[in-house]
Structure 1
């Protein structure tokens, strides 16, 4: 019976170590999204703790300060989980091989090797070999931490450059109208293709980084009071408006930008809300204010010299249909990340807490 228990302990220990390697390769090394229960558990705990503290707060600036702790807390929880998994695995192996006959001694010997402190090493050859291997794993976790954390920070900084660009030109509440007005003032409205190509790269960056590492979606904006979700909504509304109201030959870049953006936000919304039903994107309700004010936006496009299509009613229907493709994604992302968005995004706002041209400041 004892032999069976020892063999089972060794096999369980080996399985735990294999599970560790599988987890860390999925989370850190594979350049595509692979679901992992350790990453998911650490992310769920970090988000739950911070959001529990943040939900009672009505000031988004205070919420931002708390959300900035989601990434550090996630990393601490993930690393602690990996260390505990490896330490438990080698504890089982040491006990199962008889290198350390007592559980307590096996656990401390495993911790000694994993932490590279070396205060307790089994005297046998097998114990020393296991200690060397376990110490290498401990060093690898530390090296990966210092190697990939800067990559996470770089992804956030790249995301925030365009968010800061948008808010600096549209004020604290970016909308379709404010974005188009800004392009007109800067002389970019006649050659807007380059603008949408830049935003296409931004959406591709979200798809390549935030979908692989969903924890990045919870990291708040660097600039106080801004939201990358709100910025994405304003850009998608603007590209949808142009795609619906202008001839196809004038909207190729806007159309591609919109398609990439819709795909990126939907993928991320599903990742953050895995239980959302598949038919959630078939919802087609539209804010009545959006319909009422569409005529103003359509007329404004003509005033600034853009060649709009003659049938305004068809343009309105097309815009509403295009907007429905991503409205659910925007709502889900805003809800999941506690990032406020202005409804219905496309409209000018009757009140502003700050001047429209207020420059965003660092949080």
Structure 2
């Protein structure tokens, strides 16, 4: 064999092995490693499919029709991902079989895919190394598919827990939900200053959002069963209610509300930084309808809370500035995530 041919076979073997190894590591980092890692292959697949869906959503005139289109994005992307893994593994092993002298590209391609899908229609020539490679490909193909299938229940459990809180929040904050309505309900329930049960529940929800939506980023794009709901909208309402409580309500500091607010700011900002680091582009979608509060709307909310008998600080302007400072800790993250996930309309009050 000429030296250049031998070198070409070596390069094909090394390149194929690297392609297979990088695919396996991508699968492990995407679904097994409990960290918020940005994986190039996964990002490329999700961004490519998102580009197609966002262009299709732009053709729709109403939010409801766009919501129906984007509801399919995350499931389709999740199903496409293992298909891309299998294609990459098949191509990598095709190069390896060619490097081992199993024939031309067409035959090596048939051997690779026969091994990958355990068909047995094509077999490598007799020999320990080619057969060992064939068996390793068959095992790896089953591993990749099993990996995704085994993690689907975990993902849907996290989705169900997230949406349970979102649905229960709507019962308390109204439809359309608002932070003022939520504070009014807390006041009527006697939970505004003294009962930490709801705040602790929301604190736990924020902590789980941070963990699940960074280790399994595609969860952020699974849309609520009802078009008018969104986990981003729910996070904004809870944080707004906590900001109003801390800045405006004249009562001893609620430690449960404070820690919930802190947990929410940390969680939302870490999810925001995760997607920003993965270069997720929100500009491809129609603009999210996020209404920023004004001084006038804040004074109207202040009057509404006072009318409900909630004790408030006397200086409304001081309350407004304190509320603005607290809101600035999470508003950029909410705005980015709202645009990224095409959230329903968000009203502060």
Q: How far 1:295 moved relative to its partner?
A: 3.4
**1:203-222 correspondence runs (5 A):** 203-222=206-225
Determine helix, strand or coil for the equivalent of 2:34: coil
**Preserved CA contact (<8 Å) 2:36 2:274:** no
Bigger CA drift: 293-302 or 66-75? 293-302
Alpha carbons of 1:136 and 1:154: their partners in 2 closer, same or farther (altered >3 Å)? same
Q: How far 1:171 moved relative to its partner?
A: 2.8
Structure 2 counterpart of 1:44: 47
Determine helix, strand or coil for the equivalent of 2:37: coil
Deviations 1:107-133 (A, max 9, x none): 110000011111111122222211111
Aligned-partner Cα distance in 2 for 1:273–1:172: 31
Q: How far 1:301 moved relative to its partner?
A: 4.7
Alpha carbons of 1:122 and 1:289: their partners in 2 closer, same or farther (altered >3 Å)? closer
Give the one of 162, 166, 184 matched to 2:165: 162
Alpha carbons of 1:150 and 1:223: their partners in 2 closer, same or farther (altered >3 Å)? same
Give the one of 331, 336, 340 matched to 1:336: 340
**1:99-138 correspondence runs (5 A):** 100-125=102-127, 126-138=129-141
2:144 is the alignment partner of 1:141: yes
Aligned-partner Cα distance in 2 for 1:194–1:318: 25
Unaligned runs of 5+ in 2: 281-290
Q: How far 1:309 moved relative to its partner?
A: 4.0
Alpha carbons of 1:48 and 1:192: their partners in 2 closer, same or farther (altered >3 Å)? farther
Q: How far 1:306 moved relative to its partner?
A: 5.0
Structure 2 counterpart of 1:351: none
Bigger CA drift: 130-139 or 56-65? 56-65
**Preserved CA contact (<8 Å) 1:13 1:90:** yes
Aligned-partner Cα distance in 1 for 2:224–2:62: 15
Alpha carbons of 1:300 and 1:190: their partners in 2 closer, same or farther (altered >3 Å)? farther
Give the one of 254, 275, 279 matched to 2:257: 254
Determine helix, strand or coil for the equivalent of 1:35: coil
Structure 2 counterpart of 1:263: 266
Alpha carbons of 1:169 and 1:57: their partners in 2 closer, same or farther (altered >3 Å)? farther
Deviations 1:73-95 (A, max 9, x none): 21232112211111111111111
Q: How far 1:249 moved relative to its partner?
A: 4.5
Give the one of 199, 203, 206 matched to 1:200: 203
Unaligned runs of 5+ in 1: 277-286, 348-363
**Preserved CA contact (<8 Å) 1:290 1:346:** no
TM-score by length of 2: 0.89
Determine helix, strand or coil for the equivalent of 2:227: coil
Structure 1 counterpart of 2:187: 184
- Equivalent residue pairs, number: 336
Alpha carbons of 1:64 and 1:51: their partners in 2 closer, same or farther (altered >3 Å)? same
Give the one of 307, 311, 318 matched to 1:314: 318
Q: How far 1:187 moved relative to its partner?
A: 3.9
- Cα RMSD after superposing both structures: 2.4
Structure 2 counterpart of 1:15: 18
**Preserved CA contact (<8 Å) 1:265 1:326:** yes
Determine helix, strand or coil for the equivalent of 2:219: helix
**Preserved CA contact (<8 Å) 2:17 2:92:** yes
2:84 is the alignment partner of 1:81: yes
**1:61-76 correspondence runs (5 A):** 61-76=64-79
Aligned-partner Cα distance in 1 for 2:31–2:264: 25
Aligned-partner Cα distance in 1 for 2:275–2:50: 11
Aligned-partner Cα distance in 1 for 2:242–2:97: 61
Aligned-partner Cα distance in 1 for 2:179–2:79: 40
**Preserved CA contact (<8 Å) 2:45 2:77:** yes
Determine helix, strand or coil for the equivalent of 2:215: coil
Aligned-partner Cα distance in 1 for 2:226–2:185: 20
